[in-house]
Amino acid sequence: MEESSTPPLTLQSILPQILLPLSLLLSLALPPFKLRGPLCSTLILSLVYLTWTSPFPPPTSSTQPRYALFAAWFFYVPTLHKLLCTVPEESFWRIRRDEKGKVVSEKEAMSMRACGWEKIKWALALLANPRGVGWNFEIKGLRRARFARNERAAFLRRQGLMLAMDYLLVEAGMAFVKSYSLAEVLERLGWGERVLVGVACGLVIKGSWEAQWLFVSIVSVAVGISTPEEWPDFFGDITECSTLSYFWGTYWQQVLKHSLLGFSRTLISILHIPAPTLYSYTTHLLTGFLISAVFHGASLYYLLPTPPHHLFLSNTLFFLAQVPAILLETYALSVFSFLEEFEEDAEGKLHKRSSAWRIGARIAGYVWVFAWLFVTGWPFLEAYFNVGMAEWDVPFSVLKRLCAEGNEGVCVIEGLDWEIWGRL
C-alpha cells in the first residue's frame, strides 16, 4: 500500500470514536419515551458514519488499528435492535430468583431512576452481554458454562491458558499469511496453497475473536464484575459443524444471533409473512446475512482513502451466497430419508443407523461445509488482502522471543525449521 502523510491528531478527528460508546450507554440509560428508538438510533448511526469517515486512526500504513475500531458494530447492532424493535426496560432483565425459585427481577429497569447509577450499571451489563447469558433472552444453543460461581481460580487458570494458546495461534497464522505477497494471493496461488492460506486466515479470525473474549472474561471475573458461570465458550461445538445452518446459526454467529433474529421477526410481523413457513425462514436468512454483509463491507470499504470498488460487492456476494446453500441443505435433509440419522423398520419404529453410517455422514457434512465456505469465501479473503491484512500483526511478538535466528535468518525453535511461517 502507498503511504501518505499522516494528518495531525485533533479532538474533532477522535470525537466520534469517543462519543459512539457513550451514545450506546446513554440510549439505554434514558427513560422510555416516545420516539426514543428512532432518535437514539439516528444519533448512533450518525456517529458510526463519522467513525468510518474520520481520519483517525489514519488510513495510511497499517489498516489494523482502524479495522479494530470499526469492529464495534458487534455492539451497536444489538443496541439498535433493542432500541428500534423493543422497549428495553420492558423486554430485558437478568434472571434472579427467590428461595422458591420464582423470578423476582422481571422488568427490573422500569423502577430504576433514569441515568442513575443502577440504570447505568444495568445498561452496561446489557451492552456487554449480547448473547443474553443469565438474562431472559439467552440465545439457544449455548454450550454449558464449564465452571460454577465458586470455581473462580480454576476458571481464571483455564481462560489464561486458552488466551495464551489463541495468541500463539494468531501470531503463527499471521506469520504464515505474511509469507505470501498480495500478487501471489490474487493471481498465482494454486488450489492447495489457497486452502492453506484460507485455513490460516480462518484460524486467525477465530483466534483473535476468542482471545478478545477470553481477555474480557478474565478481567471481569478477576475484579468481581461477573462470575465464571456467565462465560460459556464463545463458539459452539465444532464437531457439530456438519451443516451450514449449524455453523452459522450456532457455532459462529452467537454474538449477533439474538439481534439479527429480532430484526427479521419485526420485518416478518410488519409484512404479515406467515410463520413458520419457507417464506419466514428465508426472511430470517436474508435479513441476517444482509445486515452482516452491510457492516462487514462498510468496515472494509472505509479502511482506505481510495478503496477498490469491488470490495463491497465481493463481501456482499459471500454472505448472500450462504442463503441459497442453507435453503438447499435444509430441503435435502428434509426430503431425502437416507440422510436422516434415524431409519424406520418394518414395524414403523425408529432406530439409529449404524455407527459407520453416522461417521460417514458426519465426514461428508464436514467436507460439504468446508468446501462451500472455501469456494464462496475466497473472494471475501481477497478483499481482506486488498485492504492490507497481510501486514497486520499482534501487539507484541511471543514467537520472536522463543525463536533463535538461524544462519539464513530463518526462525528455528528447538532445531525445527520454521521457514514455512515466513521470517518472523
pLDDT tens figures, 350-395: 667 777 877 888 899 999 999 999 999 988 888 888 888 777 888 8
Q: Is the pLDDT of residue 25 over 50?
A: yes
* Residue range 105-132: mean pLDDT, rounded: 91
Answer whether 315's CB lies under 8 Å from 300's CB. yes
What burial class does residue 372 get, using C-beta atoms within 10 Å of its C-beta: 0-12 exposed, 13-18 middle, 19+ buried?
Answer: middle
| pLDDT confidence of residue 351 | 66
**Bigger pLDDT: 247 vs 308:** 247
In contact, 397 and 171? CB cutoff 8 Å: yes
Q: What are the b/e assignments for 61-78, b being 16+ CB within 10 Å? A: eebbebbebbebbebbbb
300, 383 Cβ separation under 8 angstroms: yes
State percent of the chain over pLDDT 70.
87
**Confidence class of residue 2 from pLDDT cuts 50, 70 and 90?**
very low
The answer to whether residue 138 scores a pLDDT higher than 60 is yes
How far apart CA 57 and CA 13 sit, in angstroms, is 9
Q: How far apart are CA 310 and CA 316, in angstroms?
A: 10
Coil vs helix vs strand at 282:
helix
Mean pLDDT of 313-328: 93
Rounded Cα–Cα distance for residues 342 and 344 (Å): 7
Rg (alpha carbons) of the chain, rounded to whole number: 24
Residue 422 carries which DSSP code?
-
Q: How many CB atoms lie within 10 A of CB 175?
A: 22
CA distances from 360 to 72, 326, 338, 374 (A): 41, 21, 12, 21
b/e map of 205-238 (b: 16 or more CB within 10 Å)? bbbbbbbebbeebbebbeeeebbbbbbbbbbbee
Question: Which range among 142-156, 273-287, 405-419 shows the weakest confidence by mean pLDDT?
Answer: 405-419
98-117 mean pLDDT: 86
Cβ neighbors of 260 (< 8 A, separation 6 or more) are 77, 81, 253, 284, 287, 288, 291, 292
Q: 178 falls in which pLDDT band (50, 70, 90)?
A: confident
How far is CA 265 from its chain centroid? Answer: 21
Mean pLDDT confidence for 182-187: 70
Residue 223 in 3-state DSSP? coil
Kindly report whether the peptide bond that precedes residue 55 is cis, defined as omega within 30 degrees of 0.
no
Which of 74-78, 106-110, 226-230, 413-417 has the lowest average pLDDT? 413-417
Compute the average pLDDT of residues 46-72: 85
CA distance 64 to 163: 20
What is the rounded CA–CA span in Å between residue 269 and residue 72? 28
Is the CB of residue 201 less than 8 Å from the CB of residue 180? no
Mean pLDDT value across residues 317-345: 81
Quote the pLDDT of residue 183. Answer: 66
pLDDT, position 117:
93
Mean pLDDT over all residues of the chain? 85
For 217, how many CA atoms within 13 A lie in the half-sphere containing its CB? 28
Element (H, E) at 343: strand 342-344
What per-residue confidence (pLDDT) applies to 139?
Answer: 92
Q: What confidence category does residue 9 fall into, taking pLDDT thresholds of 50, 70 and 90?
A: confident
- Best CA proximity match to 143, nearest among 61, 47, 71, 231: 231
Mean pLDDT of the region 340-347: 62
Give the model confidence (pLDDT) of 228-274 as tens digits.
988 999 999 999 999 999 999 999 988 999 999 999 999 999 999 99
**Contact (CB, 8 A) for 276 and 264:** no
3-state helix, strand, coil in the chain (%, to 5): 65, 5, 35
pLDDT at 406: 47
